[in-house]
Amino acid sequence: MKTVLTTIALSFFLATCNKKQDQVQTLEGVPVETEAPNAKYKPAFTGQTRIVGVKTKMPIEIKVLDNTLKRPWGIAPLPDGRLLITEKGGTLRLAEASGNVSEEITGIPEVNDSGQGGLLDITIDPDFTQNRMVYWTFSEKSPQGNLTAVAKGRLSNNERIIENAKVIYRATPAYKGVLHYGSRILFDKTGNLVFSTGERSDRETRPEAQSLNSALGKIIRITVNGEPAKGNPFTNNPNARPELYSYGHRNVQGLAFHPVTGDLWENEFGPRGGDELNRIVAGKNYGWPIITYGIEYDGNTIGEVKTQMEGMEQPVYYWDPVVSPSGMTFYSGKIIPEWENNLFIGGLSSQHVVRLVIQNNKVIGEERLLTEEGERFRDVAQGKDGALYAITDSGKLYRITKK
């Protein structure tokens, strides 16, 4: 009996030690991902996936400010420190840094919130303090099917309604499906809108991502009136839509400009494996569905099983298994100096916030934050106070800052 007890105790001790060792290994020096990949593809270069783990040294505080949001999707920080947050059903909320959340702000045109659709991302005009204009993306229903649309309107002085809402762009062709709308939106330094679309998921629509006569699976750049922006790469191509900025994308739910270089970065969902982080160059082809590091959800390969092809861009980084990347932001605050210019991405199925350390356009470190929360993180944004704010599908608003 003594021998049995000793064996049990030893087994427990070893298991505990191994668990602690695993926890340490996922923090620094080895990749944070320990699960086997779905696809047995080789990366195109060292560090393209499973880079070494890093850990934030400064103690951080994670606080839930509110848990009453209804399926939040996008965050737009305001100049006064508040946050304008979209809810998929078609309403907006204003949230204070204290956690106080406003009543519903209405006036948004009808959205189709079936599946992955609804009221999606939002951004504010660079001159918001004077004109109070906001711009948003949403899934719109039409007789031909559903599509990603861009609209604009004015936040009323009493902050209860969006005034004079107007759709300024529709990403056609429409499709009778409810998946892969994209869609993030932001202003570039020239005062034009940059936003993303998905290729609508199904095999029959996937080729649209490669078509220059389709707005599906693209990053698009337009004026505030919905016209193609000057300087777009396909302006003089009669066989292409002039609003297109880049193509060959699957489902882009993250867009951000690097605070130092000004480069546009995006993340997009892969299928089973193959989530990507890309640095966007105007006019470039990012490969989907011809090249990918993922496989079909049923385990079959995709297309001709290629991960590289001449004339198609490689992701700066990819994940397999997936993290399901959504909204993202580069950190430019001063509160946590070691986070300077790091990229933060909301993870959905992975249920954590991704932190990536990037140098010379290469990922050199990865950390998983808020892993204990068990939440699907839909968007991450930096507030005026220098803290990070994150929203979850379950309706929570988090603030992440130093202790």
**What is the full DSSP assignment across 164-230?**
EEEEEEEEEEEES--S-----EEE-TTS-EEEE-B--SSTTTGGGGG-TT--TTEEEEE-TTSSBPT
Q: Which two tokens stand for residue 371?
A: 């892993």
* Cβ-based burial of 298 (10 A; exposed 0-12, middle 13-18, buried ≥19): exposed
Q: Give the catalytic positions in this structure.
A: 180
Superfamily of domain 70-334: TolB, C-terminal domain (2.120.10.30)
Q: Are 220 and 234 in contact (CB under 8 A)?
A: no
Please give the C-alpha separations between residue 374 and each of 102, 326, 350, 396, in angstroms, as whole numbers: 26, 16, 9, 12
SS (H, E, C) 31-43: ECCCCCCCCCCCC
Distance of CA 393 to the CA centre of its chain: 13
**What pTM does this model have?**
0.93
pLDDT at 1: 38
Beta-carbon count within 10 A of 325 CB: 27
Question: Splitting the chain (403 residues) into consecutive groups of 10 residues, what average pLDDT does each group show?
Answer: 36 36 50 95 98 97 98 98 98 95 97 98 98 98 97 98 98 98 97 98 98 98 98 97 98 98 98 98 98 97 96 98 98 96 98 98 98 98 97 98 96
